Amino acid sequence: MFEVKVPVLGESITSATVANINKSVGDFVAEDEIILELETEKVNLEITANSAGLLSELLVKQGDDVKVEDLVAKIDESKQAKVKQVVKEPVVEIKKVKEPNGVGEMIEHHIFNLDLETLSPAVRSLVIEHNVDLSKVKMSGKNGRVLKSDILEYLENINNAQIVNKAPVRNKDALDRKVRKEKLPAIRKTIAKRLKDSQNVAAMLSTFNEVDMSQIMKIKKSIKQEFADKHGVNLGFMSFFTKAVCVALQENSKVNAYFLADTEEVEYHDYCDISIAVSSDKGLFVPVIRNAESLSFDQIEKTIKEFANKAEKGSLRPEDLVGGTFSITNGGIFGSMLSTPIINQPQSAILGMHNIVERPVVVDGQIVIRPIMYVALSYDHRLIDGSDAVSFLVRVKNLLENPEKLFFDL
């Protein structure tokens, strides 16, 4: 008997929620086949079978909370169990039988020679539980074999028909006032807790400025195709902001530090691990670009693209999401003009990017139209003074408006 347990989930992660169960008791599972999926506070993980056999026990249900090393399932990997996966194909015979209807008519019936033992355990269980008439089930398996999906489809059709027949006639003008409750996903619970903790712990303030994006947009336009052809990735704004932030962080170490309230210490970093907020259908993730200060523009863009792809597929690893020293978030992609982003504890600051809008500005005494982005820096006032925060943001603004300085270390 092989025991399936919750594996080590990653740094600082001790529990998870059962998000989906892919197998039923009695199902045959192949080696490395997914049995169930777990949702942690940071990423989703798949629990697979390390050995082939029959799923003899399933000790959790969807929505259950589990911890590392908890037993979640058992697989019977004995030779006898594996043999049970071989299922006889049903034989369909057509016989003429006399119905006791007093007339003596000979009526054709399809007699399905389907011994329950020939069905897979999952199918057999459903047939017995719901008293399924197999003669009415559409069989889509090879050689007319009954699949679990066939039974489920049949039951769903019956239920839908019953609902339609029993549904009362509703007034077309009646208001539809449905209420739905869903269990909060583990990732959302963690986000909620951390944001509230940050709000409660940090003495958070924000300072703002505006950036003329003209020069960066000119560079992007002039080398866009050449950059993509050479590096296989598009040149975006995020790489410019990441490079500018790294320069400013190395000049202002407090903005790149942790405030450790428990020990009353400040932890400084001589490297820049930049946390980049990535939004996907599965939620908001903040993976970390390691040693961003030493990366080229194309390396930064490739790393961001890789993280975005992983986020969409749900394949981000716990180690991708820990250890950042400073964060950048871009609400501009959703149309945000201005915001006050919340600090990602234990970091001491976060930069918020926003949408680019053509605005009238004064340049050399003349009113001209320029593409302007408002930027915001939220910072922990326990560690960072207002003058340091403003100086940091002005330095970032200066580098972005004069991007040639990023290429020549100016």
Look at residue 117 and tell me whether its pLDDT is greater than 60: no
pLDDT above 90 covers what percent of the chain?
42
For the cut 90, the answer to whether the pLDDT of residue 125 exceeds it is no
Highest mean pLDDT among 6-10, 33-37, 103-107, 376-380: 376-380
Which of the four CATH numbers 1.20.1250.20, 3.40.50.300, 3.40.1280.10, 3.30.559.10 does domain 204-408 have? 3.30.559.10
How far is the C-alpha of 283 from the C-alpha of 42, rounded, in Å? 10
- pLDDT greater than 90 at residue 332: yes
Pick the catalytic residue from 150, 273, 381, 388: 381
Mean pLDDT computed over 280-284: 74
For the cut 90, the answer to whether the pLDDT of residue 230 exceeds it is: yes
Asked if pLDDT for residue 101 goes beyond 60, the answer is: no
pLDDT at 10 over 70: no
What mean pLDDT comes out for the span 12-32?
84
Q: Is the pLDDT of residue 81 over 60?
A: no
Q: What is the pLDDT of residue 376?
A: 98
Identity of the highest mean pLDDT range in 94-103, 121-130, 341-350: 341-350
According to the model, what pLDDT value does residue 118 have? 62
pLDDT over threshold 90, residue 268:
yes
Question: Under 8 Å CB-to-CB from 383, ≥6 apart: which residues?
Answer: 254, 257, 259, 266, 348
Q: Which residue has the higher pLDDT, 323 or 133?
A: 323
Instruction: Name which CATH class applies to 2-83.
Output: mainly beta
- CA pair distance 226, 139, nearest whole angstrom: 56
pLDDT at residue 46 greater than cutoff 50: yes
Q: Where are the domains of the chain?
A: 2-83, 91-97+106-157, 204-408
Rounded-to-integer distance, Cα 359 and Cα 185, Å: 41
Instruction: Find out whether 124 and 116 touch, Cβ atoms under 8 Å.
Output: yes
How wide is the angle at C-alpha 326 spanned by C-alphas 322 and 327, nearest 5°? 85
pLDDT greater at residue 391 or residue 76:
391
**Alpha carbon distances (Å) from 35 to 59, 63, 148:** 12, 15, 16
The CATH code of domain 91-97+106-157 reads: 4.10.320.10
Reply yes or no on whether the pLDDT at 227 is more than 60.
Answer: yes
Q: How many Å apart are CA 303 and CA 203, to the nearest integer?
A: 32
Task: Assign 224 a pLDDT band (cuts: 50, 70, 90).
Answer: very high
Across 66-80, 130-144, 265-279, least confident range: 130-144
Rounded CA separation 395/71 (Å) = 54
Of the residues 32, 65, 197, 385, only one is catalytic, namely 385
Domains 91-97+106-157 and 204-408 share a fold: no
Whole-prediction pTM? 0.64
Geometric angle at alpha carbon 234, from 232 and 236, rounded to 5°: 150
pLDDT digits (tens, 9 = 90+) for 155-214: 888 877 666 566 555 565 556 788 998 887 777 777 788 888 888 889 999 999 999 999
Active-site residue, 385 included: yes
DSSP H or E segment with residue 180: none
> Residues near 310 by Cβ (< 8 Å), separated by ≥ 6?
287, 316, 320
Question: What pLDDT is recorded for position 325?
Answer: 97
**Average model confidence (pLDDT) across the chain:** 84
What pLDDT is attached to residue 53?
A: 86
Question: What b/e readout covers 147-158, taking b as 16+ CB neighbours within 10 angstroms?
Answer: bbebbeebeeee
Query: Residue 305 — very low, low, confident or very high, per pLDDT cuts 50/70/90?
Result: very high
